[in-house]
Structure 1
Amino acid sequence: MIKLTRLNGEAVTVNAVMIEQIQSLPDTTITLTSGKKMVVKEKEQTVIEKAIRFYQKIGMVAMLKGPGEENE
């Protein structure tokens, strides 16, 4: 789970595994696998970094490697 901030200042916790897409439109818009969209204050790169740290924490990093890439 990653903590983000909606545009109105409300804190929200999102399951990073459920993130399908992140866009800057110019506000950062996250689309979940359910189709639900949310707009957050954090920059796109910040959301990506938080998601990667979450994946590392739960041991999902190896699943993100491409073919032929070695695990670190």
Structure 2
Amino acid sequence: MVIKVTKLKSQDCDFVVNAELIETIEETPDTVITLTSGKKLIVEESMDEIVRKVMDYRRALYRNMR
């Protein structure tokens, strides 16, 4: 249920985000993830990278359900 991301300007500070709680992802130019709670996270990864991680997570989840 989680994807791994890196806190902006802290390449050693990885953390995980529950992919089900992501409401929006914006590039402003920094990548900002807004959660359903309204909390905003600024991360190193691009919007495309995050979308790919979420898609990979969901594919793996559904593959295991078969």
What TM-score, normalized to structure 1? 0.78
SS state at 2:25 partner: strand
The one-letter amino acid paired with 2:29 is P
Unaligned runs of 5+ in 2: none
Q: CA RMSD in A?
A: 0.8
Structure with the largest fraction of strand: 2
Count of matched residue positions in the alignment of Structure 1 and Structure 2: 59
Higher relative contact order (Cα pairs below 8 Å, separated by 6+ residues): 2
Deviations 1:3-57 (A, max 9, x none): 0000132111011111000000000000011111000000110000001001111
What fraction of aligned residue pairs are identical, expressed as a percent?
A: 41
2:23 corresponds to 1:20: yes
Unaligned runs of 5+ in 1: 60-72
What TM-score, normalized to structure 2? 0.84
The one-letter amino acid paired with 1:6 is K
Bigger Cα Rg: 1
